[in-house]
Protein backbone atom coordinates (compact mmCIF):
# COMPACT_ATOMS: atom_id res chain seq x y z
CA UNK A 1 0.00 0.00 0.00
CA UNK A 2 1.25 3.49 -0.82
CA UNK A 3 2.55 5.55 2.06
CA UNK A 4 4.85 8.49 2.61
CA UNK A 5 8.43 7.96 1.50
CA UNK A 6 11.11 10.57 2.28
CA UNK A 7 12.74 12.08 -0.77
CA UNK A 8 13.99 15.21 -2.46
CA UNK A 9 11.73 15.35 -5.50
CA UNK A 10 10.01 18.50 -6.71
CA UNK A 11 6.75 17.40 -5.09
CA UNK A 12 8.47 16.62 -1.78
CA UNK A 13 9.65 20.23 -1.53
CA UNK A 14 6.22 21.78 -2.11
CA UNK A 15 3.94 23.04 0.63
CA UNK A 16 1.15 20.49 1.28
CA UNK A 17 -1.47 23.17 0.75
CA UNK A 18 -0.34 23.79 -2.81
CA UNK A 19 -0.38 20.03 -3.46
CA UNK A 20 -3.91 19.79 -2.07
CA UNK A 21 -4.93 22.66 -4.35
CA UNK A 22 -3.50 20.81 -7.37
CA UNK A 23 -5.42 17.68 -6.34
CA UNK A 24 -8.68 19.60 -6.05
CA UNK A 25 -8.14 21.40 -9.36
CA UNK A 26 -7.25 18.18 -11.15
CA UNK A 27 -10.32 16.39 -9.77
CA UNK A 28 -12.56 19.27 -10.84
CA UNK A 29 -11.09 19.26 -14.35
CA UNK A 30 -11.41 15.47 -14.60
CA UNK A 31 -15.11 15.72 -13.72
CA UNK A 32 -15.75 18.62 -16.09
CA UNK A 33 -13.98 17.31 -19.19
CA UNK A 34 -15.14 13.99 -20.59
CA UNK A 35 -13.88 13.96 -24.19
CA UNK A 36 -11.02 11.64 -25.22
CA UNK A 37 -8.87 14.63 -26.24
CA UNK A 38 -9.30 16.25 -22.82
CA UNK A 39 -8.58 12.96 -21.08
CA UNK A 40 -5.39 12.60 -23.14
CA UNK A 41 -4.28 16.03 -21.87
CA UNK A 42 -5.15 15.07 -18.29
CA UNK A 43 -3.23 11.83 -18.72
CA UNK A 44 -0.13 13.76 -19.76
CA UNK A 45 -0.59 16.06 -16.76
CA UNK A 46 -1.00 13.11 -14.37
CA UNK A 47 2.17 11.57 -15.84
CA UNK A 48 4.00 14.85 -15.22
CA UNK A 49 2.80 14.95 -11.62
CA UNK A 50 3.93 11.34 -11.15
CA UNK A 51 7.35 12.20 -12.58
CA UNK A 52 7.64 15.21 -10.26
CA UNK A 53 6.87 12.90 -7.33
CA UNK A 54 9.39 10.25 -8.42
CA UNK A 55 7.30 7.33 -7.25
CA UNK A 56 7.84 3.86 -8.76
CA UNK A 57 5.17 3.13 -11.36
CA UNK A 58 5.27 -0.63 -10.77
CA UNK A 59 4.60 -0.29 -7.05
CA UNK A 60 1.89 2.29 -7.68
CA UNK A 61 0.19 0.03 -10.24
CA UNK A 62 0.29 -2.84 -7.75
CA UNK A 63 -1.26 -0.69 -5.03
CA UNK A 64 -4.04 0.51 -7.34
CA UNK A 65 -4.81 -2.86 -8.91
CA UNK A 66 -7.96 -3.52 -6.88
CA UNK A 67 -9.56 -0.09 -7.50
CA UNK A 68 -8.58 -0.48 -11.17
CA UNK A 69 -10.35 -3.84 -11.38
CA UNK A 70 -13.50 -2.38 -9.83
CA UNK A 71 -13.39 0.56 -12.23
CA UNK A 72 -12.94 -1.81 -15.18
CA UNK A 73 -15.97 -3.85 -14.10
CA UNK A 74 -18.32 -0.85 -14.51
CA UNK A 75 -18.05 -0.54 -18.30
CA UNK A 76 -18.33 -4.31 -18.73
CA UNK A 77 -21.52 -4.46 -16.69
CA UNK A 78 -22.95 -1.46 -18.56
CA UNK A 79 -22.35 -3.18 -21.91
CA UNK A 80 -24.18 -6.36 -20.93
CA UNK A 81 -27.77 -6.74 -22.16
CA UNK A 82 -30.55 -9.13 -21.16
CA UNK A 83 -31.07 -10.26 -24.72
CA UNK A 84 -29.34 -10.39 -28.10
CA UNK A 85 -26.73 -9.18 -28.88
CA UNK A 86 -25.94 -9.71 -25.13
CA UNK A 87 -23.04 -7.27 -25.26
CA UNK A 88 -23.28 -3.71 -26.61
CA UNK A 89 -19.79 -2.10 -26.86
CA UNK A 90 -21.17 1.40 -27.47
CA UNK A 91 -22.86 1.34 -24.06
CA UNK A 92 -19.48 0.88 -22.38
CA UNK A 93 -17.86 4.00 -23.84
CA UNK A 94 -19.20 6.59 -21.38
CA UNK A 95 -18.68 4.40 -18.26
CA UNK A 96 -15.15 3.58 -19.48
CA UNK A 97 -14.30 7.28 -19.82
CA UNK A 98 -15.72 7.91 -16.36
CA UNK A 99 -13.71 5.06 -14.84
CA UNK A 100 -10.56 6.31 -16.51
CA UNK A 101 -11.08 9.78 -15.04
CA UNK A 102 -11.36 8.31 -11.56
CA UNK A 103 -8.18 6.32 -12.14
CA UNK A 104 -6.29 9.49 -13.11
CA UNK A 105 -7.48 11.18 -9.91
CA UNK A 106 -6.24 8.18 -7.92
CA UNK A 107 -2.80 8.48 -9.53
CA UNK A 108 -2.55 12.16 -8.55
CA UNK A 109 -3.73 11.31 -5.03
CA UNK A 110 -1.07 8.58 -4.81
CA UNK A 111 1.57 11.17 -5.69
CA UNK A 112 0.35 13.36 -2.82
CA UNK A 113 0.37 10.49 -0.30
CA UNK A 114 3.89 9.47 -1.27
CA UNK A 115 5.36 12.97 -0.96
CA UNK A 116 3.54 14.37 2.09
CA UNK A 117 4.08 13.35 5.75
CA UNK A 118 0.93 12.70 7.74
CA UNK A 119 1.74 15.51 10.19
CA UNK A 120 2.00 18.04 7.34
CA UNK A 121 -1.32 16.87 5.89
CA UNK A 122 -2.96 17.42 9.25
CA UNK A 123 -1.35 20.84 9.59
CA UNK A 124 -2.49 21.84 6.11
CA UNK A 125 -6.10 20.84 6.83
CA UNK A 126 -6.27 22.50 10.25
CA UNK A 127 -4.74 25.75 9.02
CA UNK A 128 -6.97 25.89 5.96
CA UNK A 129 -10.24 25.10 7.76
CA UNK A 130 -10.54 27.03 11.03
CA UNK A 131 -12.14 25.90 14.26
CA UNK A 132 -13.23 22.48 15.44
CA UNK A 133 -14.19 21.39 11.92
CA UNK A 134 -10.60 21.72 10.75
CA UNK A 135 -9.30 19.96 13.86
CA UNK A 136 -11.74 17.09 13.37
CA UNK A 137 -10.82 16.70 9.69
CA UNK A 138 -7.12 16.95 10.48
CA UNK A 139 -7.29 14.26 13.14
CA UNK A 140 -9.43 12.07 10.90
CA UNK A 141 -6.99 12.27 7.99
CA UNK A 142 -4.01 11.60 10.24
CA UNK A 143 -5.65 8.53 11.77
CA UNK A 144 -6.80 7.17 8.39
CA UNK A 145 -3.34 7.52 6.84
CA UNK A 146 -1.75 5.74 9.80
CA UNK A 147 -4.48 3.16 10.40
CA UNK A 148 -5.11 1.85 6.87
CA UNK A 149 -1.61 0.35 6.35
CA UNK A 150 -1.94 -1.46 9.69
CA UNK A 151 -5.32 -2.94 8.71
CA UNK A 152 -3.95 -3.92 5.32
CA UNK A 153 -1.07 -5.73 7.04
CA UNK A 154 -3.51 -7.57 9.33
CA UNK A 155 -5.53 -8.80 6.34
CA UNK A 156 -2.39 -10.07 4.65
CA UNK A 157 -1.36 -11.97 7.77
CA UNK A 158 -4.84 -13.50 8.05
CA UNK A 159 -4.68 -14.59 4.40
CA UNK A 160 -1.24 -16.15 4.88
CA UNK A 161 -2.36 -17.95 8.04
CA UNK A 162 -5.45 -19.26 6.26
CA UNK A 163 -3.37 -20.48 3.31
CA UNK A 164 -0.98 -22.26 5.69
CA UNK A 165 -3.98 -24.14 7.11
CA UNK A 166 -5.18 -25.23 3.66
CA UNK A 167 -7.67 -22.39 3.50
CA UNK A 168 -7.12 -22.21 -0.25
CA UNK A 169 -8.97 -25.54 -0.56
CA UNK A 170 -12.20 -23.94 0.62
CA UNK A 171 -14.73 -22.14 -1.57
CA UNK A 172 -14.29 -18.49 -2.51
CA UNK A 173 -17.30 -17.38 -0.43
CA UNK A 174 -16.07 -19.23 2.67
CA UNK A 175 -12.55 -17.80 2.27
CA UNK A 176 -13.88 -14.26 1.86
CA UNK A 177 -16.19 -14.66 4.87
CA UNK A 178 -13.36 -15.95 7.06
CA UNK A 179 -10.98 -13.18 6.11
CA UNK A 180 -13.70 -10.54 6.43
CA UNK A 181 -14.90 -11.64 9.87
CA UNK A 182 -11.40 -12.02 11.29
CA UNK A 183 -10.36 -8.73 9.70
CA UNK A 184 -13.28 -6.86 11.27
CA UNK A 185 -12.60 -8.45 14.65
CA UNK A 186 -8.95 -7.41 14.53
CA UNK A 187 -9.87 -3.91 13.30
CA UNK A 188 -12.24 -3.34 16.23
CA UNK A 189 -9.57 -4.63 18.59
CA UNK A 190 -7.04 -2.21 17.16
CA UNK A 191 -9.55 0.63 17.38
CA UNK A 192 -10.05 -0.07 21.10
CA UNK A 193 -6.29 -0.16 21.66
CA UNK A 194 -5.89 3.07 19.70
CA UNK A 195 -8.51 4.80 21.84
CA UNK A 196 -6.78 3.62 25.02
CA UNK A 197 -3.38 4.72 23.70
CA UNK A 198 -4.70 8.19 22.83
CA UNK A 199 -6.12 8.58 26.34
CA UNK A 200 -2.87 7.35 27.94
CA UNK A 201 -0.89 9.90 25.94
CA UNK A 202 -3.25 12.78 26.81
CA UNK A 203 -4.40 13.22 23.23
CA UNK A 204 -4.75 16.88 22.34
CA UNK A 205 -6.92 18.53 19.71
CA UNK A 206 -4.38 21.31 19.40
CA UNK A 207 -0.90 19.75 19.21
CA UNK A 208 2.20 21.55 18.01
CA UNK A 209 2.02 21.10 14.26
CA UNK A 210 4.95 21.43 11.84
CA UNK A 211 5.54 24.88 10.40
CA UNK A 212 4.27 25.40 6.85
CA UNK A 213 5.29 28.17 4.51
CA UNK A 214 4.48 28.88 0.90
CA UNK A 215 7.49 29.86 -1.20
CA UNK A 216 8.29 30.74 -4.79
CA UNK A 217 8.54 27.08 -5.73
CA UNK A 218 4.83 26.74 -4.87
CA UNK A 219 3.77 29.41 -7.37
CA UNK A 220 3.71 27.09 -10.43
CA UNK A 221 1.67 24.53 -8.49
CA UNK A 222 -0.80 27.17 -7.31
CA UNK A 223 -1.05 28.59 -10.83
CA UNK A 224 -1.73 25.11 -12.18
CA UNK A 225 -4.39 24.52 -9.54
CA UNK A 226 -6.06 27.85 -10.30
CA UNK A 227 -5.97 27.18 -14.03
CA UNK A 228 -7.53 23.75 -13.64
CA UNK A 229 -10.24 25.04 -11.31
CA UNK A 230 -11.05 28.00 -13.58
CA UNK A 231 -11.17 25.74 -16.63
CA UNK A 232 -13.56 23.37 -14.87
CA UNK A 233 -15.73 26.29 -13.74
CA UNK A 234 -15.96 27.71 -17.26
CA UNK A 235 -16.77 24.30 -18.65
CA UNK A 236 -19.58 23.87 -16.12
CA UNK A 237 -20.92 27.35 -16.88
CA UNK A 238 -21.06 26.55 -20.60
CA UNK A 239 -22.78 23.25 -19.88
CA UNK A 240 -25.65 24.98 -18.04
CA UNK A 241 -25.90 27.80 -20.56
CA UNK A 242 -24.46 30.63 -18.46
CA UNK A 243 -21.79 31.34 -21.11
String of DSSP letters for 179-202? HHHHHHHHHHHHHHHHHHHHHHTT
Give how many domains the chain has, as a whole number.
Answer: 2
Evaluate if residue 207 carries a pLDDT over 70.
no
Non-local CB neighbours of 167 within 8 Å, separated by 6+ positions: 161, 175, 178
pLDDT of residue 174: 78
* Long-range CB contacts (within 8 A, 24+) of 91-100: 94/34, 97/34, 97/36, 97/39, 98/34, 98/74, 99/71, 99/72, 99/74, 99/75, 100/39, 100/71
If you average pLDDT over every residue of the chain, what do you get? 81
pTM of the model: 0.72
Residue numbers of the domain that contains 73:
14-116+217-243
On whether residue 226 sits in a domain, the answer given is yes
Considering the domain boundaries, does residue 210 fall inside one? no
Tell me which range, 39-48, 174-183, 202-211, is most confidently predicted by mean pLDDT: 39-48
Greater model confidence, 220 or 93: 220
Asked whether residue 221 falls in the same domain as residue 112, the answer is: yes
Residues 23 and 67 in one domain: yes
Residues 112 and 35 in one domain: yes
> 11 versus 61: which is more confidently predicted?
11
pLDDT of residue 206: 60
CB atoms closer than 10 angstroms to residue 27: 19
Whether 41 and 57 map to the same domain: the answer is yes
What's the longest Cα–Cα distance across the chain? 65
Residue 207 lies in a domain: no
The predicted model gives 54-69 an average pLDDT of: 76
Amino acid sequence: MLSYAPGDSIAHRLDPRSKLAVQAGFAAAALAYTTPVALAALTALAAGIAAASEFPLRRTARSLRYPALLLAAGPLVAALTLGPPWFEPSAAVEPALGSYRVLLVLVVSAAYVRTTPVSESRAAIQRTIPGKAGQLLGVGIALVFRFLPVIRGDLRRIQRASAARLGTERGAVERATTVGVLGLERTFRRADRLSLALQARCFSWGPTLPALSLSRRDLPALALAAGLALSALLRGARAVGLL
